[in-house]
Amino acid sequence: MKTLKKIIGFFRNYKLFTIALLTLIAGSGLYFGKQHTAALWVMGTVAIAESLPLIKSMWEDLRNGTYGIDILALTAIIASVFLRQDFAALVVIVMLTGGESLEDYAERRSHRELNALLKGSPQKAHVLRGRKVLDVAASEVKVGDRIIVKPGELVPVDAVIYEGESSFNEASLTGESLPVNRGIGEQILSGSINNEQLVTARAIHSAEDSQYQQIVHLIESAEAARSPFVRLADRYSIPFTAAAYIMAIGVWIVTGHAIRFLEVIIVATPCPLILAAPIALISGMSRAYKHGIIVKTGSALEKLAEAKTIIFDKTGTLTTGVLALDSVTAFAPYSKDEMLSLVASAEQNSNHIIALAIVAAAKAKGLKLAKVKGALETPGQGLKLTHKSESVLIGRPDFIAKHGIDITKVPKSKAKTTVLVAINDRLAGALFLSDSVREESRRTIQALVKLGLKRTVMITGDNKSSALGIAKKVGIKTVYAETLPGEKLSALEDIKERPIVFVGDGVNDAPVLTGADVGIALGARGSTAASESADIVILLDDLSKVATARQIAKKTFDIAKQSILVGIALSLILMLVFITGRFQPIYGAVLQEIVDVVVIFNALRVHNLKITQ
């Protein structure tokens, strides 16, 4: 019993080798004129055994209402056995099994980078406990721990440097090959490599919550959630299968010889057509990862290639997501610099995004900031304080208006945020802040249009005036403004040109990322919810990678379709040749093997795509 199990196990693990060996033994016997009955029976039995999985798969497809071209391969094997062309049947099986092995090779090659990432996670950390340096497992580092990262070592957890500076290689995280310099106060990411100097940093995340593990989780979820690859060849299955059967049955009827049926049907065996698309897709997903793009499923890549509409969130996607001072207005007798200096002085101890932008603008102009005491803050509204014996109000327009101050003089602006200043119950000035457009936004939109996207749309919760201003700058004509997260999903239903791609980065984008045909989350440093909801995650905070992903998707499917059509064309030519009856079935099986290799290696070209973005 144990011996039998070992034999079965060997056959399962080395199926291609076993079948090829049987074919070689039987083939040499036939070549030398020794047609041993035992050898023929072995070949026939193997052929029937290998047909059973095909029969099962085909039956399940039919029950699910789908139809593929596996039936041609099954017909060729069964017909070969019944017509005692066992050697030809075995060659067809070698072809199918060899194709599976090539697919496995392509998958291993394509996932080399992903496997390297999974295996290369940080393992150890140097933690400062008092004056001692302890070597502990990376998983034991807690938020707030002080860690030392030496030259050549992996950063164990996300941390902020408080002593030293160095350059770090973040290629395994973002796909960016150039090192980045990090100094005091800057964040370093787990999984990046310290290139030069020793640095001391404070952990801001545990290992489980750090950047490296987030990316590992994304890749693992992509592996687990990968749906079966779309069999592009099945789209051509009905006409191709019909043509093969018509030719084969026709020549059988005309000649009255069943062998003629086999001679035609055996060169229609669709192994290269079945495997071309999956191999191209696996290679395309790997190619995308080299550019810092994680594609979770093959169907996402296909829909991205076929997309007609792309929708962008505004803040943090088309824009940097960081406010900057746009302009200052001052009313006599005050100057613009006085307004900016006053507000910056009042806000200098705040960590609010608006305050930080105003203080940064004042310091950039070299303005001196005064010490302000006793400011009374109304959260989310504004400040009330006394400065140089004057009563000062700083805040939102509605906050100033509530204090009975006339704000009708405030000029209209397309800025995202307005901060008003009132002194002694009179309007004194206004500061306008806006979110700056990413440098690459307009260039990316133009590239996407060139890549065949018919419609570009922006959806945002911001006011219409600000949204239209940003849309004009980046070249988007259709704008949905002042939308809530739930309303963004409703906006998708209004769009007719599908499939639809949505690009976003925040928590409020998670529902629409899920609802779109393809959801793309920009920047793995953003929301975990967005990354988990998306079909594609761009690790770099670089919008141009959206165009790169589209280019990879289109080229991947162009090559996949090319491989399928080449396989169909070669099979049709061979059918026309073999319909003459001048060649034996075994020659057809061998020639189809050559077609198999040509088509599959053409599909493997995806792995070496040249990207122009």
Residue 549: CB atoms within 10 A of its CB come to 28
Query: Residue 355: left (phi > 0), alpha (psi -120 to 50), or beta?
Result: alpha
H helix and E strand count, the chain: 22, 22
Which H helix or E strand runs over 109?
helix 86-110
Catalytic residue among 70, 86, 145, 313: 313
d(CA 426, CA 403): 10
SS (H, E, C) 133-187: EEEEEHHHCCCCCEEEECCCCECCCCEEEEECCEEEECHHHHCCCCCEEECCCCE
Phi and psi, residue 541, nearest 5°:
-85, 65
Phi and psi, residue 396, nearest 5°:
-65, 155
Give the ranges where 256-396 is alpha helix by DSSP (H).
258-265, 271-290, 298-306, 336-347, 353-364
| Preceding omega of 228 cis (within 30 degrees of 0) | no
The closest of 217, 431, 459, 238 to 339, measured between CA atoms, is 431
Residue 518: CB atoms within 10 A of its CB come to 28
d(CA 419, CA 165): 37
Phi and psi, residue 460, nearest 5°:
-150, 155
Q: Letter for the amino acid at 389? A: S
Phi and psi, residue 193, nearest 5°:
-110, 130
d(CA 218, CA 214): 6
Q: What distance lies between CA 15 and its chain's CA centroid?
A: 34
Catalytic, 313? Answer yes
Q: Residues in the chain, how many?
A: 613
Per the structure block, which two tokens stand in for 237? 């299955």
Give the residue carrying structure tokens 């997309």.
307
d(CA 504, CA 309): 15
- Residue 230 makes CB contacts below 8 A (sequence gap 6+) with 277, 298, 299, 302
For the annotated catalytic residues, the residue numbers are 313
